[in-house]
Structure 1
Amino acid sequence: MDSSAPQLIHWTENGEQHSARWRSESGMPPPKRVAIADDTTNADTAYRLACEGTALLWRGDYQNAKQLLQALARRADRSGKPKKSKAVKVPATPTEAFHLHRQAQSQRGRTLAMLLIPFDADYTIPLRRAPDVKQACNEAYGKGEQPFIASLRELLGLIGAHEWRRNGVMIPALGERIHPHYGVFSPVRGEYVALVNDVPLPANTKLAFDIGVGTGVLSAVLARRGIPRIIATDQDPRALSCAKENLALLGVNEQVELLKTNLFPEGRANLVVCNPPWVPARPSSPIEYAVYDPDSAMLRGFLAGLKDHLLPGGEGWLILSDLAEHLGLRPREQLLEWIAAAGLKVKQRHDVRPTHGKATDASDPLHAARAAEVTSLWKLETA
């Protein structure tokens, strides 16, 4: 968010008009209606107001606010389930199931984001029993400058991201941990990292490009595999900062050059690796761009530019799940057409089935698609 032109939230309290800076990493606009809430506010009233679009600025005990948020979540989850007396509408297609699921997630998120808390300029929360969240806020927002209002749900996300960053994610291919930063996609899908670690490299690979570096995990794997020089790109300053920290912790930072640019650096390489977002749908917040690729823009950009950045005999490695195919969002034929139109051909394809929890969770609305999902490393070369 541009701190030079902050959005403001306005409310009336004790008969006086107030305003403060509004902060939302999800891009949610400041609520137009704000009511004051405290320890006397019951969950049913709070949920009704939130559903109507009235935000609740909390003035009570912080721990009670967390309990209220949990109560709101329970009500939101119950309201999302069909009444027993009503016929359950079964989505006609996997695509319809996906869009209904996204719609329900979005509505739930908007409702739960209506519980707001105040912050002082130094990220102190002026509420009873409030925790010290200064480090988590500094990691996500940068240095504090002025008081602001944000949703409690967003704060809990910041705290969770801080814990992920501190504890890290074990990467078996490295035998070490990667520490994701707030807003940078965490490499919890280990199967795609294993593919990059196990698939044979092109002969005499002296230079590799890592397109969309994220946490730096794939650059680290390639460096550990002995590639002497890697140029890793990303447009997101958070990702570049995250990758820089992880590569230094893993001791491979001298092999990897980080570059802020869209897709490709200048020149050609023996190996060009890209793990774009897998689902061609519009993200509901900036943070979701790591998962959702509107109109497959990054995927198509990578394929269109790959030929001009490969050395003779070089390979492009596209790491992609076929979840979008099972959801009816992008057919396999379209992917193959884009590959051919870019002057490329498929040299090999290496497949692996995901092992994450959702792949076996029968209660997941998208279970059928997730159960059939396969992650592939497509080896591409010039046609």
Structure 2
Amino acid sequence: MSASSTVLWTEDRQSLSARWHSENQLPPPGRVIVVDDRTNAATAHRLACEGTGLLWRGDFHNARGLLRAMERRVDRKTPSPGRTPAETFRLQRRFRAHRARVLGRLLVVLEDDHALALRRAPDVRRACAEAYGPPPGGRTAISLRELLGVLGARQWRAKGVEIPALGARLRPHYGVFAPVRGEYVDLVAQAPLPRLVPRTAFDLGTGTGVLAALLARRGVERVVATDLSARARVCAHDNLRRLGLAERVRVTGPELFPEGRAGLIVCNPPWIPARPTSTLEQGVYDPDGAMLHGFLSGLAPHLEPGGEGWLILSDLAERVGLRTGDELRAAIDSAGLRVVGRIDTRPRHSRAADPGDPLHAARAAEVVSLWRLTAV
């Protein structure tokens, strides 16, 4: 192990170490001290803000309580809205990155079998194996916040997410964006298929496989679903197999476009052109809109004659000043595409109705659209 991937600390006069793992790609703390049930929130918050890692050796439920108390202290300094929506967005992103760093410094150690050796700790081995794969051997240090996310993802996976358009539940895996915002799924369910139902469709950035499954259910004979993420490809394959669609939908990657052409190509890229701070955020944030532009530039060469590309995109980026409508139109034009139709819907998620959200005005006015594109 390199020094950059190792956490070092002293305990009972012994020098100990563990492999470091962070889904947020945070660096390991340079200094780590052992803390337990005697550590109060004020001390923990101060040390974490100074960059010290706090390795928990007390009761598991007390650790969760300490983390909640640290969260309350961090949230006291939530920034005020900026002068413009774009400034507010950037201030919020900066604050959330700071929040993740500070709260991510409360650490726990997984043993060589993914077990958590703390008082009253749950059995986390299955959840960790599903998230991280087989135990790597030796101890692994992770943030308690990340472990709680792993446990929450295990519950999501077991319960599943109801997709009314499919009449079924999908089971998102850890690190794969869950289709909880159903408006974009409904757009694909309602949009008119090309005049001749395509024999082949591509679903680019498939995630859980929800849109690939929907296209197959709508009568497309063969669907090729792609994703950059290996986790997403496994997740999509599992969901499609469970739905009885594995023989009609092939999951591949990591390339955005598969080889060949299709009569229908669907893409629901990340909606916000900004840098993600975690693996899960890659489903929402995309630096400089790279996937959006990759889809547009590659669409015409991969469409069959008379075929359509469906772009599902929110206008939230325009409403907070991160992109303009003219820029999107120019990108469509420069890719040799034309718009033959557009279907709009309004978001139904809770943040759109939350006046306390710093970006409430933009979220309340947000429109999600399915753009029907063809080659010029």
Query: What TM-score, normalized to structure 2?
Result: 0.97
**Which of 130, 138, 141 is the equivalent residue of 1:149?**
141
Quote the residue 2:49 is aligned against: 51
- 1:24 deviates by 0.9
State the distance in 2 between where 1:179 and 1:276 align.
20
**Are the equivalent residues in 1 in contact too, given 2:81–2:358 (CA < 8 A)?**
no
- 1:14 deviates by 3.0
Deviations 1:302-323 (A, max 9, x none): 0001000111110000000000
- 1:268 deviates by 1.0
**Which of 241, 244, 248 is the equivalent residue of 1:248?**
241
Letter in 2 for 1:234: D
Quote the residue 1:134 is aligned against: 125
**Which of 196, 210, 222 is the equivalent residue of 1:217?**
210
- 1:114 deviates by 1.0
Letter in 1 for 2:215: L
Q: Percent identity?
A: 58
State the distance in 2 between where 1:10 and 1:287 align.
28
Task: Tell me if 1:196 matches 2:188.
Answer: yes
Query: What TM-score, normalized to structure 1?
Result: 0.95
Quote the residue 2:171 is aligned against: 179
**Are the equivalent residues in 2 in contact too, given 1:6–1:21 (CA < 8 A)?**
no
- 1:5 deviates by 9.4
- Runs of 4 or more off by more than 4 Å in structure 1? 3-6
**Do the aligned partners of residues 90 and 220 (structure 1) sit closer, same or farther apart at CA in structure 2, a change above 3 Å counting?**
closer
Quote the residue 1:84 is aligned against: none
Task: Tell me if 1:68 matches 2:61.
Answer: no
- 1:261 deviates by 3.1
**Do the aligned partners of residues 5 and 11 (structure 1) sit closer, same or farther apart at CA in structure 2, a change above 3 Å counting?**
closer
Residue 260 of structure 2 aligns to a residue whose secondary structure is coil
State the distance in 1 between where 2:243 and 2:332 align.
34
- 1:75 deviates by 1.1
Letter in 2 for 1:73: E
Letter in 2 for 1:95: A
State the distance in 1 between where 2:126 and 2:13 align.
35
Task: Tell me if 1:165 matches 2:157.
Answer: yes
Task: Tell me if 1:112 matches 2:110.
Answer: no
**Would you say how many aligned residue pairs link Structure 1 and Structure 2?**
374
Deviations 1:331-351 (A, max 9, x none): 000000010001000000000
Quote the residue 1:294 is aligned against: 287
Deviations 1:94-113 (A, max 9, x none): 00000001111111111111
- 1:161 deviates by 0.7
Letter in 1 for 2:242: L
State the distance in 1 between where 2:279 and 2:60 align.
28
The answer for unaligned runs of 5 or more in structure 2 is: none
RMSD of aligned alpha carbons:
1.4
Task: Tell me if 1:122 matches 2:106.
Answer: no
State the distance in 2 between where 1:42 and 1:314 align.
62
Quote the residue 1:101 is aligned against: 92
- 1:286 deviates by 3.2
- 1:287 deviates by 3.0
State the distance in 2 between where 1:380 and 1:106 align.
36
State the distance in 1 between where 2:95 and 2:332 align.
34
**Are the equivalent residues in 2 in contact too, given 1:184–1:238 (CA < 8 A)?**
yes
**Do the aligned partners of residues 42 and 4 (structure 1) sit closer, same or farther apart at CA in structure 2, a change above 3 Å counting?**
closer
- 1:126 deviates by 1.1
State the distance in 2 between where 1:265 and 1:111 align.
41
Quote the residue 2:372 is aligned against: 379
Task: Tell me if 1:319 matches 2:317.
Answer: no
Letter in 1 for 2:321: G
Letter in 2 for 1:236: S
Task: Tell me if 1:277 matches 2:270.
Answer: yes
State the distance in 2 between where 1:223 and 1:6 align.
46
**Are the equivalent residues in 2 in contact too, given 1:26–1:285 (CA < 8 A)?**
yes
**Which of 25, 28, 39 is the equivalent residue of 1:27?**
25
State the distance in 2 between where 1:323 and 1:271 align.
26
State the distance in 2 between where 1:176 and 1:284 align.
31
- 1:6 deviates by 7.8
State the distance in 1 between where 2:38 and 2:226 align.
51
Quote the residue 1:80 is aligned against: 78
The answer for unaligned runs of 5 or more in structure 1 is: 82-88
State the distance in 2 between where 1:342 and 1:78 align.
47
Letter in 2 for 1:44: A
State the distance in 1 between where 2:154 and 2:81 align.
39
Residue 193 of structure 2 aligns to a residue whose secondary structure is coil
Residue 79 of structure 1 aligns to a residue whose secondary structure is coil
